[in-house]
Amino acid sequence: MLKVKKKALWITTITFFLIIQTVYYWEGKIGIFAIPITIALFISYLILFFLLILQITALVKEKFKDKQRIYISSTLLIVLILTACFPWGIIDFEKFEGKDVLIAGWTGAANCTTTLKFKENGEVYKRVNCFGIRKVNCNYYVKNDTIFFVKDDDLNIEDQYQFAIIGKSTLSFNNKDGLYLFKTKNDTLPHQLIIVYNKLALKKRYKN
């Protein structure tokens, strides 16, 4: 029975570690389940911490004679420390997406946040945090003063834009530029984001 419990703790520890390390790949696919899953992972962390205390207590009583308990306690300790230091994983997978050339975002009602990151390799990544997490990406290219998005039928309508321009932001209080996203050329109410980083060689089209 004791061996079964130790095996279960091994499996739980490794599974928890793998889930944390692969957050980048699954967080954008779970939508509204992001919050309950995050809460579940936090509770799991606390449970594992409590189990670590029990393991250490048992080791002290046994005078550190149980090698298997030493191994699992050491592994559990390392996993908990790494999770505390790197809650989104040890490896920053976003770095592999490419170098950022333009970043724009906005936090709206209910603290919902939208962020667009344009990469040097011609890809753009969109992340929406609003009662869950949604992540999508597509391609773009620049022509004169306009960013054109390559049409991708796999994207939801809400994530599809035809083009974008840079203009003076009406949302910023410190005169930052805004990124205006248009669904069509006849779009009179473009989606606006505030530009927080811009190294993109793009002419600015300011509106009065």
Write the pLDDT tens digit of every residue in 136-193.
889 999 988 899 999 887 778 778 899 999 988 888 777 788 999 999 989 988 999 9
Q: What percent of the chain has pLDDT over 90?
A: 56
pLDDT, tens digit, 9 for 90 and up, residues 32-84: 788 899 899 999 999 999 999 999 999 999 988 889 999 999 999 999 999 99
- The reply to whether CATH 2.30.29 applies to domain 94-198 is no
* Model confidence band, residue 1 (pLDDT cutoffs 50, 70, 90): very low
Q: Is 179 exposed, middle or buried (0-12, 13-18, 19+ CB in 10 A)?
A: buried
pLDDT, tens digit, 9 for 90 and up, residues 83-128: 999 998 999 888 888 899 999 999 887 788 999 999 999 999 999 8
Tell whether the model's pLDDT for residue 2 goes beyond 80.
Answer: no
Q: Where are the domains of the chain?
A: 2-85, 94-198
* Model confidence band, residue 205 (pLDDT cutoffs 50, 70, 90): low
Q: What local confidence, expressed as pLDDT, does residue 194 receive?
A: 93
Tell me the backbone φ, ψ of residue 5, rounded to 5 degrees.
-65, -40
Cα–Cα dist 184/34, whole Å: 32
Q: What local confidence, expressed as pLDDT, does residue 180 receive?
A: 94
Cα–Cα dist 159/16, whole Å: 32
Q: What local confidence, expressed as pLDDT, does residue 203 receive?
A: 61
How many CA atoms, within 13 angstroms, populate the side-chain half-sphere of residue 70?
8
Tell whether the model's pLDDT for residue 204 goes beyond 50.
Answer: yes
Indicate the average pLDDT of the chain.
88
Q: What share of the chain is helix, strand, coil (3-state, %, to 5)?
A: 40, 30, 30
Least confident of 15-19, 165-169, 189-193, 201-205: 201-205
